Amino acid sequence: MREIVFWAMAIAAVVTAWRVFRADSMVRAAYWLMASFVAVGVILVLLGAEFLGLVLLLMMAGEMTIMAVFMVMFMMNPAGLNPMTMVHQHRTSIVAGVVAFAGLAGVGILGRFPDARVSEPDRATAQLGGELLGDSMLVFETAGVALLATMIGALAIASSKGRYGGADEGSAPPELGRAGEPPTTKAGERDTGEQRAGQHEAEDEHAGHGGTMSGMEM
Amino acid sequence: MGSVTGSPGSSIAPIAAAVTVLLLLGIGIYAVAVLDRLVGRAVAREPLRLRAVLIAPVREAALLLMQQRISTERPDAQLWAFAPALLGALAAAGLAVVPASGGSGMTGSIPGMSAGIVYFGAAMAIVMVAVFLQGWAANSVLPLIGGYRFVAQALSYEMPLALVLIAAALPAQSLSVVEIVRSQHAVWNVVRQPLGLPLYLIAASGLAFWGPLNFPDGADLVGGTAAELSGAPLLFWKAARTAVLVAAAAMGAAAFLDGWWGPFIPGPLWMALKTLALLVIIILAGHLLDRVRLERFVVVSWVVLIPVALVDVFLSGLVALWTGGQGGGP
- In order, the DSSP letters of B174-203 are SS-HHHHHHTTSSS-HHHHSTTHHHHHHHH
In a domain, A104, yes or no: no
* Average pLDDT score over chain A: 77
In a domain, B83, yes or no: yes
| Residue span of the structural domain in which B311 resides | 10-323
In a domain, B255, yes or no: yes
Closest CA to B231 of B88, B81, B91: B81
- Please indicate if any CB of chain A lies within 8 Å of the CB of B225: no
For residue A4, give the CATH number of its domain.
1.20.120.1200
Total of domains in chain B: 1
Total of domains in chain A: 2
Over its C-alpha atoms, chain B yields an Rg (Å, rounded) of 20
pLDDT of A77: 66
pLDDT of B219: 81
| B207-216 pLDDT per residue, tens | 999 988 888 8
pLDDT of A199: 47
| A23-58 pLDDT per residue, tens | 888 888 889 999 999 999 999 888 888 888 999 999
| B34-71 pLDDT per residue, tens | 999 999 889 988 888 888 889 989 999 999 999 888 88
**Claim to verify: residue A140 and residue A214 sit in the same structural domain:** yes
In a domain, A20, yes or no: yes
Q: State whether B151 and A213 contact (CB < 8 Å).
A: no
Q: Which of B86, B87, B136 to mutate to test the interface with A (most CBs of A within 10 A)?
A: B136
Phi, psi dihedrals of residue B159, rounded to the nearest 5°? -65, -50
Cα diameter, chain B: 65
- Whether the CA torsion B158, B163, B169, B175 is positive or negative: it is positive
Which of B115, B129, B149 is opposite residue A218, by nearest beta carbon?
B149
Residue A154 has pLDDT above 90, yes or no: no
Q: What mean pLDDT do residues B258-269 have?
A: 82
* Average pLDDT score over chain B: 86
Q: What mean pLDDT do residues A114-122 have?
A: 73
Domain boundary pick from A41, A59, A80: A80
Domain boundary pick from A42, A59, A80: A80
Over its C-alpha atoms, chain A yields an Rg (Å, rounded) of 26
| Residue span of the structural domain in which A65 resides | 1-80
Spell out the alpha helix ranges (H) of chain B.
14-43, 50-66, 77-96, 116-125, 127-137, 141-169, 177-182, 189-192, 196-207, 231-256, 267-288, 294-300, 306-324
Q: Residues B158, B152: contact at Cβ < 8 Å?
A: no
**Helices B306-324 and B196-207: crossing angle, nearest 10°?**
140
Q: What mean pLDDT do residues A201-211 have?
A: 43
Q: State whether A51 and B118 contact (CB < 8 Å).
A: yes
Give the 3-state DSSP-derived string for B40-73, with helices as H, strands as E and coil as C: HHHHCCCCCCHHHHHHHHHHHHHHHHHCCCCCCC
Our CA-based measurement puts residue B40 at a distance from the nearest CA of chain A, in whole angstroms, of 30
- pLDDT-derived band at A172 (thresholds 50, 70, 90) equals low
In a domain, B17, yes or no: yes
Q: Which of A198-202, B13-17, B224-228, B273-277 has the lowest mean pLDDT?
A: A198-202
pLDDT of B240: 94
- Please indicate if any CB of chain B lies within 8 Å of the CB of A128: no
- Please indicate if any CB of chain B lies within 8 Å of the CB of A218: yes
**Claim to verify: residue A7 and residue A73 sit in the same structural domain:** yes
Calculate what percentage of chain B has a pLDDT beyond 70: 91
pLDDT of A209: 42
Q: What mean pLDDT do residues A94-116 have?
A: 90
- pLDDT-derived band at B123 (thresholds 50, 70, 90) equals very high
Q: How many CB atoms within 10 Å of residue A137? A: 12
In a domain, B5, yes or no: no
Domain boundary pick from A37, A57, A80: A80
